[in-house]
Amino acid sequence: MADNKKRIEDLEREIAELKKHIATLEEAEEDRITVRAYFDQLFESAPEGIVLADNQGRIIHVSKEFLNMFGYTEEEVIGKDVDTLVASEEYREEARKLTNKASVGEKTALETIRKKKDGTLIHASILASPIVIRNKQVAVYAIYRDITERKKAVDTLKESFARTQKILTATVNTLALAAEKRDPYTAGHQQRVAQLARAIALEMGYSEDIVEGIYLAGIIHDIGKIRIPAEILTKPTTLTELELNIMKTHCQVGYDILKDIDFPWPIAQMILQHHERLNGSGYPQELRSNDIMKEAQILAVADVLEAMSSHRPYRPARSLDATLAELEKNRGILYDTDVVGVCLCLFRKKTFKFQDIHHA
């Protein structure tokens, strides 16, 4: 009797444990179903085109946006090779490499061209990544985004920028010619200074954008001379102190002419400072050392070299060797050490030569 009662109690405990285990399993299944529902909802509502493929690139599942993006139905894509489906022949090899990288566990992203069902080509951003479960890669997923409109906008912006640059360059050259017409003895001086300043800046590792700004500043660095009396500009003898002081105003005048023009570079400041010297002996602000912008220090060295080695009515040209020696002597005193070093290297080791000057 007692044994039967014990068996019944044991059985009741086992049944209770079993019910509890079943309840746990049911709860886990509900959680799994809920998670799957969330996943499906996320997959289908994603604004990007999403593809799930096996490790060989065969499509297992796709989002609605992918179908809309490429113009297919779900029946047309399931089981198909994704690269054959959306990559034109020209981009097929690139697509294969992308899939292969993902199939061996590597995440990959690129912007490229892909093909719709009707043959239309679109610009697409693609991110491909492996799906790993319990340390085993089971599939690959890829996210596609149509960036055609963005590319068009970027191309339009680039074209607009290129047109603006052409207009800007033409304007700068016109200003340079206006200054040179009043000072025939220095015709070509600004362009040669611009050539050398550009070469120095490139050698020093500046970006193409900064180099372009330095070059354009060089083209018009003496624009302020447009307000200097012609009899001073063309005087065949040494200038008096008064005349020299008048001549020195060309930096400030150039700045005043250009300061309100919205250049993408600080061209007006470069022109204002191109006669400043490290020891404060320059003009018009008597700036020292680090107070002088580097671009202006590059222009200063290029300006001095070109001017000293060119003929003027009131003095003969110095030889190139004598000019380089003068720069070297004042290296770190009047002129930036690095800029002078690069300039010396350009002429002594890299045989820099000024290009012929052509006036439009």
Element (H, E) at 61: strand 59-62
> Which residues constitute the domain of residue 195?
151-348
**CA–CA dist 188, 335 (Å, integer):** 23
CATH number at residue 272: 1.10.3210.10
Report the predicted TM-score, pTM, of the whole model to 2 decimal places. 0.61
Both tokens of 298, joined, read 């590059």
Do 186 and 60 share a structural domain?
A: no
Q: Note the pLDDT of residue 7.
A: 54
Radius of gyration of the chain (CA): 37
Do 288 and 173 share a structural domain?
A: yes
Do 214 and 91 share a structural domain?
A: no
Domains: count for the chain:
2
Beta carbons within 8 Å of 345's beta carbon, 6+ residues apart? 203
Q: Note the pLDDT of residue 36.
A: 55
Do 236 and 127 share a structural domain?
A: no
Under 8 Å between Cβ of 286 and 278: no
Determine if the peptide bond prior to 47 is cis (ω within 30°): no
Terminal CA-CA length for the chain: 122
Per-residue pLDDT of the chain (360 residues; tens, 9 = 90+): 555 555 556 555 655 565 565 556 555 555 555 545 555 666 666 778 888 888 888 988 888 888 999 999 999 989 999 988 999 989 988 888 888 888 787 888 889 999 999 999 999 998 888 888 778 888 888 889 999 998 898 888 888 878 877 877 777 777 777 777 777 666 688 889 999 999 999 999 999 999 999 999 999 999 998 888 888 888 888 889 999 999 999 999 999 989 988 888 999 999 999 999 999 999 999 999 999 999 999 999 999 999 998 877 777 888 989 999 999 999 999 999 999 999 999 999 888 888 865 543
Do 156 and 58 share a structural domain?
A: no
How many angstroms separate the Cα of 241 from the Cα of each of 31, 110, 226, 282, 307? Answer: 93, 65, 20, 15, 20
Do 172 and 85 share a structural domain?
A: no
Do 164 and 95 share a structural domain?
A: no
Q: Note the pLDDT of residue 20.
A: 63
Do 182 and 99 share a structural domain?
A: no
The C-alpha angle 228, 232, 236, rounded to 5 degrees, equals: 150
Do 191 and 75 share a structural domain?
A: no
Closest CA relative to residue 82, chosen from 242, 340, 6, 72:
72
